[in-house]
């Protein structure tokens, strides 16, 4: 019976590690996608393409929201705060683009870049356990 209990505990801890590894792989893939989207967003702003800017910023919001639960679970309040601020900036960019306020959207984009960089500087993906 004791041996069965030990095997169960070992399997459970291994399974938990695999889930974390999968989530970490998904997180890194989302980060890469977000980086590409941020570059595309800048291009859309440079060409004053309001529709594309709004669409890209909306997709960024959707992707950023996917990470919120993990930041909560991990107790990463600092990262969660940055994540929420970045979502607000992406929503603002989308709204400004829809309203034809491309110059304001560009200003918000610059703030979004700083917000992204501040999270990257924390390297939350290396802190996930």
Domain contains 11: no
Domain contains 80: yes
Domain contains 13: no
Domain contains 16: no
Least confident piece of the model among 16-20, 114-118, 124-128: 16-20
pLDDT tens for 70-123 read: 899 989 999 999 999 999 999 999 999 999 999 999 999 999 999 999 999 998
Q: Where are the alpha helices (DSSP H) in the chain?
A: 2-46, 50-65, 68-74, 77-98, 102-122, 124-127
Q: What is the pLDDT of residue 23?
A: 83
For 75-112, letters b (16+ CB in 10 Å) and e give ebeebbebbebbbbbbbbbbebbeeebbeebbebbeeb
Number of folded domains in the chain?
1
pLDDT bin (cut points 50, 70, 90) of residue 125 is confident
Mean pLDDT over each residue of the chain, to the nearest integer: 86
The residue segments making up the domain with residue 85 are 25-127
pLDDT bin (cut points 50, 70, 90) of residue 55 is very high
Domain contains 10: no
Domain contains 4: no
Quick check: 2 pLDDT over 80?
no
Domain contains 120: yes
* Residue 115, domain CATH: 1.20.120
* Contact between 125 and 21 (Cβ < 8 Å): no
Domain contains 8: no
Q: What is the pLDDT of residue 129?
A: 78
* Contact between 57 and 97 (Cβ < 8 Å): yes
Quick check: 38 pLDDT over 90?
yes
Q: At what angle do helices 50-65 and 2-46 cross, to 10 degrees?
A: 170
């Amino acid at each position: 019976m004791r041996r069965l209990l030990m095997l169960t505990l070992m399997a459970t801890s291994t399974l938990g590690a695999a889930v974390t590894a999968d989530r970490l792989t998904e997180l890194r893939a989302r980060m890469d996608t977000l980086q590409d989207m941020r570059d595309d967003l800048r291009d859309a702003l440079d060409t004053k393409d309001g529709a594309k800017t709004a669409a890209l910023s909306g997709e960024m919001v959707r992707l950023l929201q996917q990470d919120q639960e993990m930041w909560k679970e991990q107790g990463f309040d600092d990262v969660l705060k940055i994540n929420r601020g970045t979502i607000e900036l992406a929503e603002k960019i989308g709204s400004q683009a829809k309203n034809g306020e491309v110059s304001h959207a560009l200003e918000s984009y610059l703030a979004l870049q700083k917000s992204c960089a501040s999270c990257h500087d924390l390297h939350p993906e290396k802190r996930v356990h």
